[in-house]
């Protein structure tokens, strides 16, 4: 569908980073960006995820790397290793369906889903400003319906409303409608 809709060179010369891009929606977004000519680096939380992504015959990324979005120094190293940066897509996230009401689990979900996204955005900001690039933050539709997952809902909606309110950087970044 992407190949039939967009020019294959739409993002030629652009460099993209997709956190959580080793599987699911993140992998589909990364593949679509690569299919439109972008040089894409995807991240996964564990070695196994990264190896599985690289091992896919359909993998079109520049690289797949392990990244813990809770680790500010690791994020800075990864972004510092990129030749340039035009597009950041934040898809890294976690959900703990059965035990998210335990304080330590709740804190971890917030640290990954909300604060991790903000860490990546903040680290990428200087390069994106230079290239006049874009940030795309994803959230699950489940966050609008809840399904008894208070922490998951809160972390997805909190970031959505923070960006929507225009408080995410005071430099022209905002939600894409």
On whether residue 167 sits in a domain, the answer given is no
Q: Which pLDDT tens digit goes with each residue over 47-72? A: 999 999 999 998 999 999 999 999 99
Query: Could you tell me if 125 and 131 are in contact, meaning their C-beta atoms sit under 8 angstroms apart?
Result: no
Nearby residues of 136 by Cβ (< 8 Å), 6 or more positions away: 29, 87, 88, 89, 90, 176
On whether residue 157 sits in a domain, the answer given is yes
Q: What's the pLDDT at 94?
A: 82
Domain extent, residue 72, equals: 2-161
pLDDT of 162 above 70: no
Q: What count of other Cβ atoms lies within 10 Å of the Cβ of residue 97?
A: 9
Q: What's the pLDDT at 133?
A: 94
Q: Which pLDDT tens digit goes with each residue over 7-32? A: 889 999 999 999 999 999 999 999 99
What global pTM score does this model have?
A: 0.84
Sign of the dihedral through C-alpha 47, 69, 155, 123: negative
On whether residue 169 sits in a domain, the answer given is no
Q: For residue 74, what pLDDT band results from cuts at 50, 70 and 90?
A: very high
* Total of domains in the chain: 1
Region label for 116, one of left (φ > 0), alpha (ψ between -120 and 50) or beta (otherwise): alpha
CATH at residue 13: 3.40.50.720
On whether residue 170 sits in a domain, the answer given is no
Percent over 90 (pLDDT), the chain: 58
On whether residue 24 sits in a domain, the answer given is yes
On whether residue 93 sits in a domain, the answer given is yes
On whether residue 173 sits in a domain, the answer given is no
Q: Which pLDDT tens digit goes with each residue over 114-148? A: 899 999 999 999 999 999 999 998 877 665 565 55
On whether residue 177 sits in a domain, the answer given is no
For residues 59 and 42, what is the distance between their CA atoms, to the nearest angstrom? 10
For residues 54 and 140, what is the distance between their CA atoms, to the nearest angstrom? 25
């Amino acid at each position: 569908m992407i190949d039939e809709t967009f020019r294959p060179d739409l993002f030629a010369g652009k460099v993209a980073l997709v956190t959580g891009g080793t599987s699911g929606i993140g992998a589909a977004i990364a593949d679509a960006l690569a299919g439109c000519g972008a040089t894409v680096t995807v991240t996964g939380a564990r070695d196994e995820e990264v190896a599985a992504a690289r091992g896919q015959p359909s993998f079109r990324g520049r690289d797949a790397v392990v990244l813990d979005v809770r680790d500010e120094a690791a994020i800075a190293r990864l972004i510092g290793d990129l030749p340039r940066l035009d597009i950041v897509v934040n898809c890294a996230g976690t959900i703990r369906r059965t035990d998210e009401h335990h304080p330590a689990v709740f804190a971890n979900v917030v640290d990954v889903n909300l604060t991790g996204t903000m860490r990546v955005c903040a680290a990428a900001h200087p390069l994106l400003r230079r290239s006049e690039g874009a940030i795309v933050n994803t959230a699950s539709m489940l966050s609008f319906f809840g399904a008894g997952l208070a922490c998951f809902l809160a972390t997805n909606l909190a970031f959505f409303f923070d960006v929507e309110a225009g408080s995410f950087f005071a430099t022209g970044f905002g939600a894409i409608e």
